[in-house]
Amino acid sequence: MPDSPKLLIPALGRLYALFAPITEPLIRLIAGGSLAYHGYQILFGNIEGAGRFFESVGFENGLMWAWIVGILEFACGISLAIGLFTRLAAGPIIVFMIVAIVTYHWENGYNWESRGIEYPLFWAIVVFHFLVRGGGRWSADALIGREI
């Protein structure tokens, strides 16, 4: 970047340059990994319980939704975490977050402590980054050399 600002402490520049390439792969890993853990919890934890939860918040055929959400979270989460078909995974995750906000979290207000919208909203914003950028460095997409 030719027009990067001058650093008040120039010596820190080397530190920044050293770590810059890993910052985005790290948030991809965290955002995807957390989502996959949610999906794992539904699929391999208590799918009947998840089904009852979806019915309690107004989804008919809750067990079907538990499977859909569980598979989406688990598969797209792993896909995002390792950066494989990154953009293909990012799209459904963002749609899922928006649906979750509109159908459930909205009525819980803003704060995450009361299951409000802020975390799913932030999650969607983070994932949007990878919808635009793709897998980037340290991703399976980069390893393969092709992506969506």
Q: How far apart are CA 138 and CA 112, in angstroms?
A: 31
Which range of residues in 58-66, 67-75, 91-99, 118-126 is near another protein by CB under 8 A? 118-126
CB of 1 to another protein, least distance (A): 8
CB of 67 to another protein, least distance (A): 19
Calpha distance 64→77 (Å, rounded): 19
Structure tokens at 87: 């953009």
Minimum Å distance from CB 30 to another protein?
A: 5
How many residues form the binding site for another protein (CB under 8 A)? Answer: 49
Q: Which is nearer to another protein, 63 or 140 (CB)?
A: 140
Q: Is 68 in the site for another protein (CB under 8 A)?
A: no
Burial (CB count within 10 angstroms: exposed 0-12, middle 13-18, buried 19+), residue 86: buried
Q: What angle do CA 25, 140, 79 make, to 5 degrees?
A: 80
Could you tell me the end-to-end alpha-carbon distance of the chain, in angstroms, rounded to an integer? 26
CA dist 48 and 50 (Å) reads 5
Q: Does 133 bind another protein (CB under 8 A)?
A: yes
Q: From CA 63, how far away is CA 74, in angstroms rounded?
A: 16
Per rule CB under 8 A, is residue 123 in the interface with another protein?
A: yes
- Contact map string, positions 6 to 45, toward another protein, x by CB under 8 A: xxxx--x---x--xx--xx-xx--xx--x--xx--x----
Q: Which residues bind another protein (CB under 8 A)?
A: 3-9, 12, 16, 19-20, 23-24, 26-27, 30-31, 34, 37-38, 41, 109-113, 115, 118-119, 121-123, 125-126, 128-129, 132-137, 141-142, 144-148
